[in-house]
Amino acid sequence: MTEREKMLAGEVYDACDPELLEDLNRVKVLCQQYNNLLPTDFAARNKMIREILGQADEDTFINQPFYCDYGKHIRVGKRFFANFGFTVLDEAYVTIGNDCFLGPGVHIYCACHSTDPRERKTRQEWAKPVSIGNDVWIGGNVTILPGVTIGDNCTIGAGSVVTHDIPANSIAAGNPARVIKTI
């Protein structure tokens, strides 16, 4: 398997693989170009975000600045909106449903690193996908950790750290986020 195939399969891979580093740098340039577009140039912004992401539509709207690692592993549904400072470490697939709205400073992390400092020095890591259902509202400064699934019709309170799955039709908040209400 290539390092990319290992990465997407959730296996340990070499994060310093030349092919992966080339893709990371290519997307950094695209994100910089996107972030430097005039905020009022909606057509150019939408065209470029669809070039960066693996799936997006003509109604996808991401306020600048936006940062991601690979871009093509991010799939957003219809009428997706993310506010300022959306950051995605998409070493695994990130799938976001239709009619999802993200507040400012939302971060989604797929990359995993060893807690053993000797192992971390090897630059070996692995990744777990993140899935967010339809009609989800994620408040500002929420962090979603690797391997999390958030069900349909959820609200995640501002400042939460989502460390485990949140079932559909839930309101969750806190650090770690926990369900505080079912709708």
Instruction: Please give the structure tokens belonging to residue 125.
Output: 């890591």
The yes-or-no answer on residue 164 being catalytic is: no
Choosing from 73, 107, 113, 164, the catalytic residue is 113
Instruction: Please give the structure tokens belonging to residue 31.
Output: 């994100």
* Three-state secondary structure of the chain: CCHHHHHHCCCCEECCCHHHHHHHHHHHHHHHHHHHCCCCCHHHHHHHHHHHCCECCCCCEECCCEEECCCCCEEECCCCEECCCEEEECCCCEEECCCCEECCCCEEECEECCCCHHHHCCCEEEECCEEECCCCEECCCCEECCCCEECCCCEECCCCEECCCECCCEEEEECCEEEEEEC
Catalytic residue set: 113
